[in-house]
């Protein structure tokens, strides 16, 4: 150990005498380690760190699937009850609902505001394995109609609305005009679903919904029994789902079940993006390591005479290994420390980007940091790098004293040169992979931004309103009057062009669908019905939203006043279900599972809108005239839409002083938020590709510069016997072309295979996109030409007399 300490001191002295070499290596390592540590911090916090639930790995999220809907949807309450009775894989199943409505009005200190509500079954928190921060949890005894006026708060809601008042337990609060008693507060980070602020018993779900196999209203969590594996549980629930389809063909035919681990349910689409970013930054680290390995091999070559003399005097290769290891450890500790500091500076920006890119619990975002696992990962990376760096120089030392002392040695034309060239070819191959994947993602994002949403996003403000049911729910005329007055007052307000209501926020994914039949269409098998998105809208919706009328007419005020039943459909609906007929002569049957379906005529066709998300194709949609307790208010303005927020709030409070609006944002901002994940991924991959390109160029420059320096005598001889400067220039560029070509060939092959891994991140672009490949190859060739030209020009300017003087 004492000898190793001596080697460390010796390495530190040597590195101090070579400040340029030391600075180059340390900065290169800092860049690679810092970027890797920063991304690993995100990966660890989101994908690896323990969730704040007991044995969270055994908690599974269950949902139903529909052949016409991508992903999982809510289950019907009767299906959930049947799952509980018939399954054998879970100790218990619990249900929760965020629908009808997803928010409620909370009155504190005479001021009303909307809070996100979750209805949870009595065993919900038992399945999660949560211990309350204060008070108690909702239990089975609370999930009964006679005891269900109790509520729990999230830690953030307790802080935001009640100032962390420790006396909150037992206090009565007003939710939607009804008194509820607070019985407990959840611990920090334990809110599930993450947007939840107040939890109420599931028994508050209305009886009609609880009895319906048509209305999909609840999501389900289950805790696996000890010894039961995920595939077994999935097979078990699929068997139950098949039995339900056979028992209830009218409603459950083709309805399946989907199981996902809880973490996957929480992280969602962010998982592939994070893994892709980690893979890209790891490749950048490899390029940085290859550069440093080349520098250390060059340094070892320069020291080979000293090493050969020491070998001749009896020094063993083990001694040299520890000497190189000491040097590598010093460099890696310096580079790693600087890299950690770099990561610490970058992490706040990453947290900000992730907060906009995903609907995650804020505690998950805040947990992204330089914790012990991340620091251990960085230390492990530095240690492995140091050991690797110790081996490469050892391979580059000469065991022969006579060879090392030969004054006329021609330098880097032998095996040592091939090793360095192989490393640079590897760097180029990795850089091609990073560049190609980054270009694919960036081009995919450009295509996404180029999609026409089908409606005008400029000068449009969106806000949500949820009217309390006890006050407005009993009489639809009161609700209608409220919204009619509100829209009329807004239309007269300065700065506002028009106002309308709908049921779903633009660009927000929604599965609000209805089964239907087209009158006169061929009959279907039991349980096989077409389905379409359905919206309730006010008469001025189409004008305000910017949808063009293609045929017929849109709704008028009389359609609401007279409760006229009529449909407006979009072009996608007309193409898919009304092809070959005049849409205005069609009748749509709703309530197809009832004995007497309702026949409703189509009165108009409007243009398509990508209002389920810019990535989604326009889906068939049905529009109905009318208002509900929950509405999305759309306000078209003449100037900046954010400037009329106070006007909208005042117009609402004029009609109802206790009625808040919430989720107020411009549709421009909604558009930006809808592509935030893709923007973050494209931006970070773009940065990594620039770093990879720069490191590859530096590697090419370094190898060629050293090669020219080592071959200066050879070049002098060539020029002395008649070689022109152009020939010398071609000689050096040919060397660069050789390892560049090899690297490009290998890199393109690996990149095309790797692209299949990230196909889930791509939009409207293939994994073998020729233009992306050309851009990646072109950038690498350009970087290689620039990096090789300087050493080549230096070689062509060698003075033969000076080069041969030493001979």
Give the phi and the psi of residue 580 in degrees, each rounded to 5: 85, 5
Give 704 or 601, the one with higher predicted confidence: 601
Widest CA span in the chain? 107
pLDDT score of 157 more than 70: yes
Q: Which of 275-284, 300-309, 528-537, 581-590 has the lowest mean pLDDT?
A: 300-309
Residue 90's nearest CA partner among 216, 234, 263, 239 is: 234
Give the other-Cβ count within 10 Å of 11's Cβ. Answer: 20
Give every CB contact of residue 400 below 8 A, 6+ residues apart in sequence. Answer: 308
The pLDDT value recorded for residue 411 is 45
Tens digit of pLDDT for each residue in 86-144? 999 999 999 999 876 788 888 877 777 889 999 999 999 999 999 999 999 999 999 98
Which residues sit opposite 500 in a β-bridge? 634
Output phi, psi for 436, to 5 deg. -65, -50
Between vectors from CA 335 to CA 331 and to CA 338, what angle results, nearest 5°? 145
Model confidence pLDDT, tens digit, residues 539-550: 999 999 999 999
Q: How far is CA 253 from CA 87, 244, 247, 474, 790, in A?
A: 19, 8, 9, 35, 71
pLDDT of 529 reads 81
Strands 59-66 and 256-261, how do they pair?
antiparallel
What is the predicted pLDDT for the residue at 595? 78
Q: Could you tell me which of 366, 561, 403, 587 has the C-alpha nearest to residue 483?
A: 561
Contacts of residue 557, Cβ cutoff 8 Å, sequence gap at least 6: 484, 539
The per-residue pLDDT for 392 is 62
pLDDT at 412: 45
Lowest mean pLDDT among 116-130, 155-169, 515-529, 766-780: 515-529
Contact 221, 62 (CB under 8 A): yes
Of 267, 659, 733, 348, give the one whose Cα is nearest residue 478: 659
Q: Which of 355, 412, 194 is nearest to 677 (CA)?
A: 355
Cα–Cα distance for residue pair 742/724, rounded to 1 Å: 28
Q: Count other Cβ atoms within 10 Å, centred on residue 103.
A: 22
Place of tokens 């508050």: 204
Whether residue 316 is predicted with pLDDT greater than 60 in this model: the reply is: no
User: Any bridge partners for residue 185, and if so which?
Assistant: 134, 153
Q: Do 336 and 378 meet the contact criterion of CB atoms below 8 Å apart?
A: yes
Do residues 80 and 241 touch, judged by C-beta distance below 8 A?
A: no
Residue of 292 and 702 predicted with greater confidence? 292
CA 545 to chain centre: 28
Return d(Cα 69, Cα 216) in angstroms, integer. 13
Asked whether the beta carbons of 81 and 313 are under 8 A apart, the reply is no
Cβ atoms of 631 and 483 closer than 8 Å:
yes
pLDDT digits (tens, 9 = 90+) for 197-219: 999 999 998 888 898 888 888 99
C-beta separation of 783 from 704 below 8 A: no
What is the residue-averaged pLDDT of the chain?
Answer: 84
The pLDDT, as a whole number, for residue 124 is: 95
pLDDT confidence band for 526 (50 / 70 / 90): low
pLDDT at 603: 94
* In the chain, % of residues over pLDDT 70: 87
As a whole number, mean pLDDT of residues 409-428 equals 66
**Smallest Cα–Cα separation from 602: which of 550, 526, 666?**
550
> Is 70 exceeded by the pLDDT of residue 404?
no
Structure tokens at 426: 């590897």
Both structure tokens of 299: 């340094």
Q: Which of 329, 333, 325 is nearest to 300 (CA)?
A: 325
Tell me which of 433 and 719 has the higher pLDDT: 433
Contact 230, 261 (CB under 8 A): yes
- Of 498 and 399, the structure prediction assigns the larger pLDDT to 498
What span, in angstroms and rounded, lies between the C-alpha atoms of 39 and 688?
11
pLDDT for residue 7: 67
Segment 434-440 mean pLDDT: 93
> Looking at 42-46, 89-93, 355-359, 417-421, which range is the least confident one?
417-421
Cβ contacts of 498 within 8 Å, gap of 6 or more: 491, 540, 543, 544, 635, 636
Pairing relationship of beta strands 111-120 and 517-518 according to DSSP bridges = unpaired
Give residues with Cβ within 8 angstroms of 747, minimum separation 6.
428, 429, 430, 431, 432, 433, 436, 780
pLDDT band at 637 (very low <50, low <70, confident <90, very high): very high
User: What's the chain's Rg over C-alpha atoms?
Assistant: 34
Give me the pLDDT at residue 269, please.
74
294: nearest Cα among 434, 424, 160, 117: 424
pLDDT tier for residue 148 given thresholds of 50, 70 and 90: confident
Identity of the highest mean pLDDT range in 21-30, 147-156, 360-369: 147-156
Q: Which pLDDT band, with edges at 50, 70 and 90, does 228 fall under?
A: very high
**CA-to-CA distance for 713 and 665, rounded, in angstroms?**
70
Residue with tokens 């970087």: 783
Window from 241-250, 480-489, 652-661, 724-733 with minimum mean pLDDT: 724-733
Per-residue confidence band for 417, with pLDDT thresholds at 50, 70 and 90 = low
- Which residues have CB under 8 Å from 462's CB, separation 6+? 505, 506, 632, 633, 634, 635, 663, 664, 665, 666, 667, 670
Q: What is the CA 385 to chain-centroid distance, rounded?
A: 30
Contact 433, 318 (CB under 8 A): no
Asked whether residue 36 carries a pLDDT value surpassing 60, the answer given is yes
- Among 426, 428, 435, which residue's Cα sits nearest to residue 280? 435
Query: What distance, in Å, lies between the first and last C-alpha atoms of the chain?
Result: 45
The dihedrals phi and psi of 604, each to the nearest 5 degrees, come to -165, 160
Judged by DSSP in three states, 784 sits in helix
Q: Helix and strand tally (H, E) in the chain?
A: 28, 25
In this model, does residue 511 exceed pLDDT 70?
Answer: no
Q: How far apart are CA 218 and CA 80, in angstroms?
A: 8
Instruction: Kindly tell me if the per-residue pLDDT of 313 is higher than 70.
Output: no
76 pLDDT exceeds 90?
yes
Among 423, 404, 207, smallest CA distance to 296 is for 423
* Residue 123 CA to its chain's centroid (Å): 31
Q: What is the pLDDT of residue 13?
A: 79
How far is residue 707 from each of residues 219, 298, 299, 406, 715, measured CA to CA in Å?
66, 10, 13, 18, 11
Can you read off the two tokens belonging to residue 807? 């001979």
pLDDT value at 81 more than 90: yes
Rounded mean pLDDT of 364-389?
83
Query: Could you tell me if 118 and 199 are in contact, meaning their C-beta atoms sit under 8 angstroms apart?
Result: yes
* Range with lowest mean pLDDT among 383-397, 535-549, 632-646: 383-397
> Is 197 within 8 Å of 63 (Cβ atoms)?
no
Distance, in Å, from the CA atom of 506 to the CA atom of 14, rounded to the nearest integer, reads: 64
The mean-pLDDT minimum among 61-65, 273-277, 284-288, 563-567 falls in 563-567
Question: Which residues are paired to 72 by β-bridges?
Answer: 65
Confirm if 424 and 739 have CB atoms less than 8 A apart: yes
Answer whether 74's CB lies under 8 Å from 63's CB. Answer: yes
Q: Token digits for 23? A: 């600075």
The secondary structure of 610-630 as a DSSP string is -TT-TTSPPPPEEEEE---SE
Asked whether the CA dihedral 277, 278, 282, 288 is positive or negative, the reply is: positive
Beta bridge partners of 90: 224
Please report, rounded to a whole number, the percentage of residues in the chain having pLDDT higher than 90: 35
User: How much is the average pLDDT of 729-751?
Assistant: 84
Shortest CA distance to 394 belongs to which of 313, 327, 312?
Answer: 327
């Amino acid at each position: 150990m004492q000898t190793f300490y001596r080697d460390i001191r010796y390495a530190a002295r040597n590195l101090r005498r070579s400040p340029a070499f030391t600075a180059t290596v340390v900065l290169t390592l800092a860049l690679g380690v810092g970027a890797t540590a920063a991304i690993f911090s995100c990966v660890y916090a989101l994908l690896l760190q323990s969730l704040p639930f007991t044995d969270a790995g055994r908690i599974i999220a269950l949902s139903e699937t529909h052949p016409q809907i991508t992903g999982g949807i809510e289950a019907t309450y009767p299906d959930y009850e049947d799952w509980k009775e018939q399954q054998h894989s879970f100790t218990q199943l619990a249900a929760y609902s965020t629908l009808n409505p997803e928010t409620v009005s909370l009155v504190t200190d005479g001021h009303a505001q909307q809070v996100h509500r979750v209805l949870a079954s009595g065993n919900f928190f038992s399945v999660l394995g949560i211990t309350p921060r204060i008070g108690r949890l909702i239990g089975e005894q609370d999930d009964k109609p006679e005891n269900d006026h109790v509520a729990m708060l999230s830690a953030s809601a307790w802080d935001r609305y009640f100032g962390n008042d420790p006396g909150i337990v037992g206090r009565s609060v007003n939710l939607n005009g009804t008194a509820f008693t607070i019985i407990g507060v959840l611990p920090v980070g334990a809110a599930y679903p993450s947007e939840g602020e107040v939890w109420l018993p599931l028994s508050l779900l209305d009886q009609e919904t609880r009895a319906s196999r048509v209305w999909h209203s609840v999501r389900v969590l289950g805790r696996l029994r000890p010894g039961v594996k995920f595939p077994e549980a999935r097979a078990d629930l699929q068997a139950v789902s098949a039995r339900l389809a056979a028992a209830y063909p009218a409603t459950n035919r083709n309805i399946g079940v989907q199981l996902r681990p809880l973490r996957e349910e929480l992280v969602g689409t962010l998982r592939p993006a994070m893994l892709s970013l980690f893979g890209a930054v790891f490749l950048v680290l490899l390029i940085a390591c290859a550069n440093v390995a080349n520098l250390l091999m060059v340094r070892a070559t320069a020291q080979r005479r000293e090493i050969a003399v020491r070998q001749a005097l009896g020094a063993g290769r083990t001694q040299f290994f520890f000497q190189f290891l000491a040097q590598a450890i010093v460099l890696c500790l310096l580079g790693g420390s600087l890299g950690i500091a770099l990561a610490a500076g970058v992490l706040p920006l990453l947290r900000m980007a992730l907060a906009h890119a995903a609907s995650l619990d804020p505690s998950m975002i805040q947990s992204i940091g330089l914790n012990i696992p991340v620091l251990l990962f960085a230390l492990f990376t530095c240690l492995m790098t140091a050991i690797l760096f110790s081996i490469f120089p050892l391979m580059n030392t000469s065991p022969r004293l006579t060879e090392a002392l030969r004054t006329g040695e021609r330098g880097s034309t032998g095996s040592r040169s091939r090793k360095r060239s192989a490393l640079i070819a590897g760097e180029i191959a990795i850089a091609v992979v990073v560049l190609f994947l980054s270009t694919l993602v960036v081009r995919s994002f450009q295509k996404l931004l180029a999609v026409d949403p089908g409606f005008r996003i400029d000068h449009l403000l969106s806000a949500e309103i949820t009217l309390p049911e006890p006050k407005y729910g009993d009489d639809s005329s009161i609700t209608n009057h409220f919204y009619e007055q509100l829209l009329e007052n807004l239309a007269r307000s300065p700065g506002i062009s028009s106002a309308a209501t709908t049921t779903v926020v633009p660009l927000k994914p929604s599965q609000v669908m209805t089964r239907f039949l087209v009158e006169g269409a061929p009959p279907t098998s039991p349980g096989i019905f077409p389905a379409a998105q359905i919206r309730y809208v006010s008469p001025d919706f189409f004008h305000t939203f910017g949808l063009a009328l293609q045929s017929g007419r849109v709704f008028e005020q009389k359609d609401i006043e007279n409760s006229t039943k009529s449909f407006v459909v979009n072009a996608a609906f007309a193409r898919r279900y009304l092809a070959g007929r005049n849409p205005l002569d069609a009748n749509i049957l709703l309530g197809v599972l009832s004995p007497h379906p309702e026949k409703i005529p189509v009165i108009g066709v409007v243009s398509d809108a990508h209002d389920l998300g810019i990535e989604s194709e326009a889906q068939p949609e049905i529009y109905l005239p009318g208002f509900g307790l929950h509405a999305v208010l759309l306000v078209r303005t003449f100037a900046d839409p954010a400037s009329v927020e106070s006007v909208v709030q005042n117009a609402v409070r004029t009609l109802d002083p206790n009625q808040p609006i919430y989720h107020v944002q411009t549709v421009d901002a909604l558009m930006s938020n809808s592509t935030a994940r893709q923007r973050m991924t494209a931006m970070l991959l773009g940065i990594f590709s620039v770093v990879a390109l720069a490191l590859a160029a530096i590697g090419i420059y370094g190898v060629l510069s050293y090669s020219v320096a080592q071959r200066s005598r050879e070049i002098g001889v060539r020029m002395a016997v008649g070689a022109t400067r152009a020939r010398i220039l071609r000689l050096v560029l040919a060397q660069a072309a050789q390892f560049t070509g090899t690297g490009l060939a290998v890199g393109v092959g690996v990149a095309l295979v790797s692209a299949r891994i990230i196909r889930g991140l791509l939009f409207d672009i293939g994994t073998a996109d020729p233009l992306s490949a050309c851009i990646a190859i072109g950038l690498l060739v350009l970087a290689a030409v620039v990096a090789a030209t300087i050493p080549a020009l230096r070689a062509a300017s060698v003075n033969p007399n000076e080069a041969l003087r030493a001979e």
